[in-house]
Amino acid sequence: MCERPARPILPGKGEHNEMARYMIERTFPDGLHIPITAEGAQTAKQVGEVNAAEGVNWVHSYVSDDKKRTYCVYDAPSPDAIRRAASKNGLPVDKITEVSVLTPSFYF
């Protein structure tokens, strides 16, 4: 049986700066529109730079079919750091939940 992975550690920060994983739920009433173009890449890069300044790492996101809801996975030192980064990026935050990984392989 596999053991649950440890929390991510921020590179270069040492063992005592573990980050928790969070699921961030967001609502975009007009839909989320980030084009798959150079412009969209620049937007994602800017979000990443602002996040990094708060010690926050955007892992990936799930987007609803209508593009009005997102479920984003982040590694961060705290929910407050996520809220600060979101505010600076102009992104809504409906709910932040600390999560951990569970896969069927943990049982085999």
More confident residue, 81 or 13: 81
Is residue 50 very low, low, confident or very high in pLDDT (cuts 50, 70, 90)? very high
63: helix, coil or strand?
Answer: strand
pTM for the full predicted model: 0.79
From the list 55, 48, 43, 46, the residue with the least C-alpha distance to 82 is 55
Computed on alpha carbons and rounded to an integer, the radius of gyration of the chain in Å comes to 15
The proportion of the chain whose per-residue pLDDT surpasses 70, expressed as a percent, equals: 84
Whether 85 has a pLDDT exceeding 80, the answer reads: yes
Whether 12 has a pLDDT exceeding 80, the answer reads: no
- Please write the tens of the pLDDT for every residue from 51-76: 999 999 999 999 999 999 999 999 99
pLDDT of residue 1: 43
Measure the CA–CA gap between 36 and 56, rounded to whole angstroms: 23
Q: Hey, where are the domains in the chain?
A: 20-107
CATH placement of domain 20-107: 3.30.70.3090
Q: Which two tokens stand for residue 77?
A: 């030192």
